[in-house]
């Protein structure tokens, strides 16, 4: 059964992967590979529990590595956590308020809560609790509406920033090529990401393989090509100068206009 891309909000995917909500995409993928080994059908004896956990891990990976889906999931998760915190705070205030009102009424009358074994009625106290609870409900609804507006504003700002960033990402991107032979057959997106320090790489785009003529070869060879987008221009310049570029046949800035000499 293929993993669903529909988020299960009863599961915290960050807790499932044992990573913070601020983890980068490469950290998310690394945590997935590590955790999935505990439940992978090829690694452990399949049971309904391990298969369900493996499917959850795959869903978590699909959602947290998709920029649009991750934004929606993070917003829903944040709203859920906020509601739980507000509910817990409200219940705490209610308990405290009830205790204070009972204590105050008992002190004012000098009488215990029961007289001759008959429980007193607390009509005025209950009305006071309901009145304050209603005020808190209205305040809570206003606070939630304000949070929703803030979240929408953050989303719009993030989308605008992402659009602006995408236009400049080519300037901090590097195009690499390698010969699709021997060890070169093992080079893929994950291998390229793991070749650099955590947090340096923003994304890796795998391009279509092409046959090219290279120096020292009589015939054209099949070359794999990828564009590595680094987090900043400074990181990109440092990596271009220092590597590592083991197994890579050529490195050039992605913004450089390509000429096909083959």
Answer yes or no: is 77 within a domain: no
Mean pLDDT over each residue of the chain, to the nearest integer: 82
> What CATH number does the domain containing 240 carry?
3.30.70.330
**Does 200 or 25 have the greater pLDDT score?**
25
Kindly state the percentage of the chain with pLDDT values over 90.
27
Answer yes or no: is 227 within a domain: yes
Q: Which pLDDT band holds residue 6 (cuts at 50, 70, 90)?
A: confident
Answer yes or no: is 197 within a domain: yes
Answer yes or no: is 36 within a domain: yes
**Tokens encoding 106:** 């008992």
Range picked from 109-113, 152-156, 235-239 for highest mean pLDDT: 235-239
Q: How many domains does the chain have?
A: 2
Sign for the pseudo-dihedral over CA of 113, 119, 120, 125: positive
Among candidate residues 48, 65, 82, the one where a domain is terminated: 65
Among candidate residues 47, 65, 83, the one where a domain is terminated: 65
Among candidate residues 65, 85, 100, the one where a domain is terminated: 65
Q: Which pLDDT band holds residue 115 (cuts at 50, 70, 90)?
A: very low
Mean pLDDT of all residues in 201-228: 86
For the question of whether the overall pTM of this predicted structure is more than 0.85, the answer is no
Answer yes or no: is 194 within a domain: yes
Answer yes or no: is 102 within a domain: no
Answer yes or no: is 112 within a domain: no
Residue 243 pLDDT exceeds 90: no
> What CATH number does the domain containing 46 carry?
1.10.287.110
- Strands 173-179 and 221-230, how do they pair? antiparallel
DSSP labels for the chain? -PPP-S--TTS-HHHHHT--TT--HHHHHHHHHHHHTTT-TTTS---HHHHHHHHHHHHHHHHHTSHHHHHHHHHHHHHHHHHHHHHHHHHHHHHHHHHHHHHHHHHHHT--SEETTEEPP-HHHHHHHHHHHHHHHHHHHHHHHHHHHHHHHHHHHHHHHHHHHHHHGGGGEEEEEEESSGGGGG--HHHHHHTS-TTTEEEEEEEEEEEE--TT-SS-EEEEEEEEEESSHHHHHHHHHH---TT-SEEEETTSPP----
Answer yes or no: is 191 within a domain: yes
Segments forming the whole domain that contains residue 206: 172-253
């Amino acid at each position: 059964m293929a993993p669903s891309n529909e988020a299960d909000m009863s599961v915290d995917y960050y807790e499932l992967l044992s990573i913070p909500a601020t983890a980068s995409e490469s950290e998310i993928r690394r945590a997935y590979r590590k955790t999935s080994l505990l439940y992978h059908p090829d690694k452990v004896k399949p049971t309904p529990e391990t298969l369900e956990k493996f499917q959850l891990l795959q869903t978590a990976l699909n959602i947290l590595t998709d920029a649009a889906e991750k934004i929606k999931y993070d917003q829903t998760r944040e709203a859920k956590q906020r509601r739980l915190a507000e509910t817990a705070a409200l219940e705490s205030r209610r308990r405290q308020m009830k205790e204070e009102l009972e204590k105050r009424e008992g002190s004012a009358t000098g009488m215990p809560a029961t007289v001759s074994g008959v429980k007193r009625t607390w009509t005025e106290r209950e009305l006071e609790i309901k009145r304050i609870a209603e005020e808190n409900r209205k305040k809570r609804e206003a606070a939630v509406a304000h949070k929703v507006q803030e979240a929408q504003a953050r989303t719009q700002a993030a989308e605008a920033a992402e659009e602006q960033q995408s236009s400049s990402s080519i300037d901090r991107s590097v195009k690499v090529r390698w010969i699709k032979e021997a060890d070169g057959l093992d080079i893929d997106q994950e291998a390229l990401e793991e070749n650099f320090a955590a947090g340096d790489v923003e994304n890796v785009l795998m391009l279509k393989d092409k046959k090219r003529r290279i120096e020292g070869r009589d015939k054209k060879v099949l070359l794999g090509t990828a564009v590595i987008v680094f987090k900043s221009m400074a990181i990109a310049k440092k990596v271009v100068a220092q590597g590592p570029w083991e197994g890579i046949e050529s490195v050039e800035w992605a913004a450089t206009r390509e000429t096909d000499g083959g």
